[in-house]
Each structure stands twice: as structure tokens, then as C-alpha cells.
Structure 1
Amino acid sequence: MNILILGAGEIGVLLASKLIESNHNITMIESDPILCKKANDILDANVIEGNAGNFELLKSANLSSIDVLAAVTNNDEVNILSSIIAKKMEVPTVIARVKKPEYAAKDFPLRDFSYGPDLIIQPEKETARAIVQLVKNTNATEYYEFEGGKVKIVGIRIDKHFAHSGIKLNQIGNIIKELPFIVLALIRAERTVIPKGSDFITLGDQIFFICESVNLSKVLEFFGKATIKNENVMIVGGALIGQYVAQGLESKFNVKIIENDYKKTKLLAKNLTKTLIINSDPTDLDVLEQENLSGMDEFITVTDSDETNIICSKLAHHNGVPRTITLIKKYDYLKMTSSIGLDSVVSKQVMTVSTIRQFIQRQKVASYTEILGLDATVLELETTTKSKIIRKPLMNLDFPDKSVVGAIIKPNGAVVIPSGLSKIDAKDKVVMFFSPEKQNEIERLF
């Protein structure tokens, strides 16, 4: 497909790089000459310098031949204006990123898709929603839902409470025969492994498993993850993500939010009802200790600075906070998070790119997810009567290496966590877990 991306910031460049990997033709428009040069240096894309809201410039980008326009600049108004122009020029798929809540409201006129974007995405709200889910699932380092929440992929860290350290995966069924789940991947020594039955699980591993939601608590219990007290939450950073997280938690948790900018604290006070708002430097350990840092159950850092977020999370760990959740912007940092001792990590950029890619591929893909910190992708694909993988036991199918069938969802909604004897039928949805370079091979099977 021919895809036009407006904005070469962190989201735009990450989106472009992922789409280029999938063999799409990418054109970008960016007003900042420095960002233009950077994009030109690292991407195999046509990068144009200029205002993305300029009609003549959009026309010069050959808008009539574009299949998808994704407006992801840092300017809401530019994204909205360019989306309207693209729809008027009959671009088939138009996506706009917005930050201001009013532009994503249901009664906003752009929700009329006849002249507004086909998808309005609000990265700050989506990121906050993911953080709230993590807080409510205290044992998880990563947490993803599929098929309306019926299926979950969960990341956990193996610690001393796991009674079977050293066990091979193909031996787990001897211990818990009636508990279907699949270990999809593990991280050991900063390396992602998509394991075979002969591989083992040991202390210090971070593992990712898939199961039905109804069995999640039992799987966590098997791995020694008891229910943890979770009442007191401290948030560092009072911009939109911090505000949305506090709003999602303050009705059931004791929430404190620390923000250095006095104007932001005044705005927080207008939008939060039960959260304690503190105007102070979040890197000041004396302040954190005065606010009972060691008594926190969750410590969440969502400032605009990766470095501040990492430092504050490390301070919290050092002072005995059981778990930290850290917002990371720089994509290169994500691969280092396990080695520097961060618990759970969220990325606004990765979540936004995953949502956009899923929407672009919506004719073929029911859902698209990139697992943070893992060199792995999850696709939910639907089979047809022409699919190459139907009506045969999985053990007899030739799936690419570094790929796993995680779950099969039947047309009636029934979920199957498969074994080698399981069969896929036409019109089933299949949750596939695989290394990113295998995507084209996987899609051809469906």
C-alpha cells in the first residue's frame, strides 16, 4: 500500500519503520528540518519538509494515489485539518491522532466519518488505560486482552515463590493436567526465546503465557503469584496520562500524584476529586519519603522525560516499593528495561503504532499487538474455507519456526487453548504469536 504519514516525531518514525518492514511504500511530511533529516537518514521513505496542513503540499505528495493517511503530528489542529482534506480527496483510510480530550469526544463533529477521519486515536488515554489494567493485575509485568477479554496474554517474572524452578515446559502438564495454558515466550539474559517443550523455566526468567480469563488466577497461583495487597498508588507526572491514570484509579485506590509544574497541579485539582495532588520535584527523595514512599504498593512514572521516569522508578525500588510502572518514549530503551531492573514498562508510541497497524490491516487482521520488551508480534486472524491450516491437527501442520498458535476462538465464542491434536476450522479466529519477520508467512497460511 501507499501510505502517507504526517509527522516524523517518535510515533511517526516508529510507524514508518514498522510499515516499511511490511513492504509498504511510505511518504512522510514533517515541518521540522531536523526531524526531516533524521527520518531521511534512518528510513527508506520519501520525506518531504513542510506544513502537513497545507493543501498544495498534500496534493504534491500525490494524495490521489494514497491508500492510507495517518496524521500523527504533535498538533491536533493540523491532524484534523489534514484529515478533512484527505477525506475530501477520497483517500480510502484516514487516521488522526489527537491529544485534546474534546477532539475525541463522541459529540465532536468529526465523529461524522463522511468528512472526518475513519479512526481518531488518543494515545494518552490508551496508555493510561493500559496502566490502570496493570495496577488492577498486580502480578503482571505485561497484560493484554483479546476477544473482548476472554483471552489474556500475561507477562510475569519467575521468583523464589515458584515451586518448580528448572521444570521443562513439556513436564508442566504432569503437574496441572486440567489447566490449559501455553508459555509463548521467555526473556532470559535480555534474549527473547520462543520456547520448545524441552526448554525449561528458571528463577529470574520473565515469561509470557496465554490462557482463558477464567483460568488466569489458577495459572498465576501455579507460578507462585499470590494475591498482593494493592491500595496505595503514587503517580509521578501530572500531564494528561497522569491525570487519566488517577481518574481511573481514585475511586478504589489511595492515589497521590506529584507534579513539578504549578499550573498543571491547578488543572489536576479541577479534574480529580479524591487524589492528593503534591506540587514538588519528584526526584527529591526527601519529598518522596515525606509522602510515605515506602508505604506505596504501586509507583507509576509518566513524565515527559524517560530519564526522570527511570530514575524515579529506581528510587522507588530502592525504598522498598513492590512494583513500579514506567513510561518509556525512546524505542531503543525498551530493549534495556529488563536489564536495568524495571518492573512494568508502557510505551505510548508502541501502543499507538499497534492500534494504527491493526486498523490498516482490519480486513485481514482482527487484532494486532506488539508485546513490549519482546521481539514478538501477536495477530488475531480469521480463517476461511480456503485457508491452508483448517481441518488438520496442529501437530501435522507446517507452521514457521518461531511461531505459536496461542488460542482458537470458535464462531460461537468458545475458546480453545490448543494442544497438538487440536484442529482449526473455517471461520475460527486464531491468536498467533510469532517473531515479526514471520508475519508474511503466517498471513499466507490464512
Structure 2
Amino acid sequence: MRVIVVGAGEVGSNIAGDLATDHDVVVVDIDGERVDALSYSHDVLTVEGDGSDVDTLEEAGIAEADMLIASTDDDSTNIVTCGTAGVFPETFTIARVKRPQFLRTWERGDRTFGVDFMVCTDLLAAETITGVIGLPTAQDVDTFAEGLVQMAEFELPEDSPVVGQTVQEADRFDSLTFAAIVRDDDIVIPRGDTVLRGGDDVVVIGSPDSVRSFSEAIAPEQSGPRDIVVVGGSEVGYQTTRLLEARGFSPRLIEHDPDRARWLAEKLPGTTVMQSDATDREFLERENVGDADALIAALENDQKNLLAGLLADRLGTKRTVAVVDTVEFADLFEAVGIDVAVSPREATAEEITRFTRGRRAENVSLIEGDRAEVMEFEVDADGDAVGCTIQEVAETLPDGVVFGAITRDGELTTPRGDTVIEAGDHVVVFADADAVEDVTAAL
């Protein structure tokens, strides 16, 4: 597939790097230095120019392109670029936007703005935050099979009760599959006698209830949050608080600007909005922020988010989540004490990459960037896997594949070796990156 990526910033560069291994990628950017740097660091072709200009797109080969991804930092530019690409109707267009109002408008029409698929950075970040906030130690959460199946990646604390247990000993939950362990930069496919270690990232697949039960077993002292504080009424902060309200929480939100605080109070009736500086220690102590179960730092500035998160941690807040605009800072944030760092740019790059790959599957979740994938397939009636057992299919696949769940007629089944695959089944599979193509072909 030939893909044109317009925008060579952090998002565009990550997308280009992820797709370049399997596709012909051309990156367009108006900044010559960015283009030159990308041509040396990635196996992609580059074009210097304005991606919203049809002449530039023609130079990039838009007439032969299967897909165009507009991923600059400007919403209007991305929308205009997709509209320009509409001159070539065979090209599928994807636009990245920050403001949810563009997404809401796009959702109301058929190919509005000339965009086939739209990703909203701020809303996606908010969904990522609310996904992990309810599961102690969760680093990533995704759902499959219309919510019947959940995938979660947990970091095991050194003092977790399951550390030192084998997978067989720890696997005492209905409808839960241990899919993988990320350990010292290696991906380990767990067996019954695999011993869990502190610091392991464990990927599990199962029903939401079983995943929640496993989360509680990992850190029994960290029950689901009740008191949640959101710091910063930015668009990400607002969308996160709105989603928390929808899930039945009554969060507290701290916003420094009085006009914005007033607007937030009107829009969020289930939230207590406080107008103050979230880095004011005396204020935080007076409002008992240290007693909160979770604090989400969603200010407009990475440094302030780090400061607010570390200050809350110092005061005793059980869990801190911080928004990180600069992708490479995410690991640093977690290294110095933030429990979970959420990068809107990285989440957007992963979502777009996931969508391009997901066109061959019902749903796809990327693990550790793109080192592995959890994929959902609906089995066709004429598929080769129909009538075969899980063991028979597994024997045709390389190492690094785990069948995590099967849903059939709205019911979840934990797959065993003798489970027979039927037409219409939704099969959720973990696969190492090297095994993805084989799994796709088999299912």
C-alpha cells in the first residue's frame, strides 16, 4: 500500500516509522530541515512542500496513493489537505484534529470535509486516561467484541502478592488469559510454570470483570478510585472530566483562570470546580488533595503537569496520571515518579497506525509501540479455520501467538486447545509482530 503522510512532526514521524516496514510511505512537510532529518532516520521518501497544495500532493504521488494521512499540528491545514486529496477519490483520507467540535461535525455527515476517518487528539487522550484510571497499576486498556472482551497491560509492583507466583498459581480468575509478559525489553509468552516478577508488564485478555479482579489482586490496597482530582481545565482536562462524570464519578477539577472555571462549572454539573493554582501547595493541602485516590494533571504545559503530579504524590495521592505533550518525555515522567504518563501525540499516532492495520481486522491494539498486537477477527463462513480446534490452528502458526478470547452469539468463551472455531466467532488474539501476518492469513 502507498501511504502519504502530511506532517513530519512527532505524530507524523511516528506514523511513518510504524507503517514503513510494510508499506511504501511518502512524507510531506513544509519544513525542509524536518524532511531532511526524516529521510535519514526512516526508510521513507520525502517531499518538501505544502501538503494542502494539489501540486505538492501530485509530486508525492497522490494519484497512485491508497491512503493520505494529514497529521500536522494545525486542524484547519489537516482538513483542507484531506479536501484537496478529494480530487483523487480513490485515496482514503485520515485527518488528525485537536478540537472535538470538528469530530462531532464529521460524525454527523458522510465523508464531511472530504475526510474518510478522523482522529481527535484531545478526546483520544481523555479516553485513554479514563480507561486506565479505574484499574490500579494499568498502563494500557482496550476493549474488543463490543465490550465483552478487555485487554489490559499491568505493571507488577515489587510488593505485589502475585510476585513470585507462577502463572498457573496467579491464574485463578474466570475467563482470563495471560497473553504476554514484557520483561527487560523482551516479550515472553507465559506458560503455566512462568514465574511473575516485580516490574513485569503483564498483558491479560478476558472479561472486564475478570480483568478488574486481576487488577485488585495485583494491588489489593489500591481499590478503584472514588475521589478523583483533575488539575487543569484544558480541552483534555474538560473531556476527561466529562467522561468521568459519564462513568458515575463526581470528580474535583482545579482551574486557575476564573472565566474558564466559570464555564467549566456550567458544563460539568457533576463536578466540583475550584478556581486556584494547582501548584499552590497550601491550597492542595487545604483541599486534602493528598487524600485523593487519583490525580490527573492536564495543564497546558509539560513542566507544570510534572510539578503538579509530583507534588500530589508527595502529599500522599495514591495514583498520579499526567498528560505529556512531548512524546520523548513520557518515559522520563514515569521514571521520576508519575504513575502513568499519557501522550496525546503518541496515542494519536498509535490510533492512526492501528486503524490502518485494523482494516484487515475488526479491531487492533498495539503493544509496546508496535512490537506486538492484540487483534480481533470475525471468522468468515468459508475461512480455513472454521471447524478446526484452537490447537490445530495454533500448530500452523509461529511462536508468539496466544488465543485470548472468543465471543459467540454475544457470549464470551475462554479458548482452550479443544475449542472448535465456528463461523461468525469473534476471536481475540495476541501476536508478536513477526507473527501478525500469519495470524491474519489463518483467520
- Normalized against structure 2, the TM-score is what? 0.86
Are 2:89 and 1:90 equivalent residues in the alignment? yes
Using the aligned pairs only, state the percent identity. Answer: 24
**1:6–1:71 CA contact under 8 A, matched in 2:** yes
Correspondent of 2:174 among 170, 173, 179: 179
Task: Output the amino acid matched with 1:387.
Answer: D
Please say which of residues 305-314 and 322-331 is displaced more in the overlay.
Answer: 305-314
Aligned twin of 1:235 = 230
Are 2:291 and 1:292 equivalent residues in the alignment? no
The structural deviation recorded for 1:31 is 1.9
Deviation per residue, 1:412-441 (Å, 9 max, x gap): 233222122223334433212122233223
The structural deviation recorded for 1:403 is 2.3
Report the CA distance shift for 1:303/1:63 in structure 2 as closer, same or farther (over 3 A): same
Task: Output the amino acid matched with 1:309.
Answer: N
Per the alignment, in what secondary structure is the counterpart of residue 322 of structure 2? strand
**1:212–1:417 CA contact under 8 A, matched in 2:** no
1:401-412 aligned within 5 A: 401-410=399-408, 412=409
The structural deviation recorded for 1:132 is 2.0
Aligned twin of 2:339 = 343
Report the CA distance shift for 1:187/1:314 in structure 2 as closer, same or farther (over 3 A): farther
Name structure 2 gaps, 5 residues minimum.
none
Report the CA distance shift for 1:18/1:421 in structure 2 as closer, same or farther (over 3 A): same
Deviation per residue, 1:71-121 (Å, 9 max, x gap): 111111111112122123213311111222332224777x33276211122
Output the CA distance in 1 between the equivalents of 2:110 and 2:369. 37
**1:327–1:347 CA contact under 8 A, matched in 2:** yes
Output the CA distance in 1 between the equivalents of 2:244 and 2:427. 33
Aligned twin of 1:428 = 425
1:181-260 aligned within 5 A: 181-189=176-184, 191-223=186-218, 225=220, 228=223, 230-250=225-245, 252-259=248-255
Aligned twin of 1:441 = 438
Aligned twin of 2:7 = 7
Report the CA distance shift for 1:162/1:136 in structure 2 as closer, same or farther (over 3 A): closer
The structural deviation recorded for 1:61 is 1.9
Output the CA distance in 2 between the equivalents of 1:88 and 1:373. 33
Aligned twin of 1:364 = 360
The structural deviation recorded for 1:358 is 3.8
Per the alignment, in what secondary structure is the counterpart of residue 11 of structure 1? helix
Report the CA distance shift for 1:341/1:426 in structure 2 as closer, same or farther (over 3 A): farther
Output the CA distance in 2 between the equivalents of 1:229 and 1:171. 24
Per the alignment, in what secondary structure is the counterpart of residue 362 of structure 2? strand
Aligned pairs, number: 439
1:263-274 aligned within 5 A: 265=261, 268=264, 271-273=267-269, 274=271
Please say which of residues 6-15 and 209-218 is displaced more in the overlay.
Answer: 209-218
Output the CA distance in 1 between the equivalents of 2:186 and 2:301. 26
Per the alignment, in what secondary structure is the counterpart of residue 195 of structure 1? coil
Task: Output the amino acid matched with 2:36.
Answer: K
1:115-194 aligned within 5 A: 116-138=114-136, 140-159=138-157, 163-172=161-170, 176=172, 179-189=174-184, 191-194=186-189
The structural deviation recorded for 1:332 is 4.3
Per the alignment, in what secondary structure is the counterpart of residue 352 of structure 2? helix
**2:149–2:206 CA contact under 8 A, matched in 1:** yes
Please say which of residues 396-405 and 335-344 is displaced more in the overlay.
Answer: 335-344
Per the alignment, in what secondary structure is the counterpart of residue 95 of structure 1? strand
Please say which of residues 328-337 and 148-157 is displaced more in the overlay.
Answer: 328-337
Per the alignment, in what secondary structure is the counterpart of residue 322 of structure 1? coil
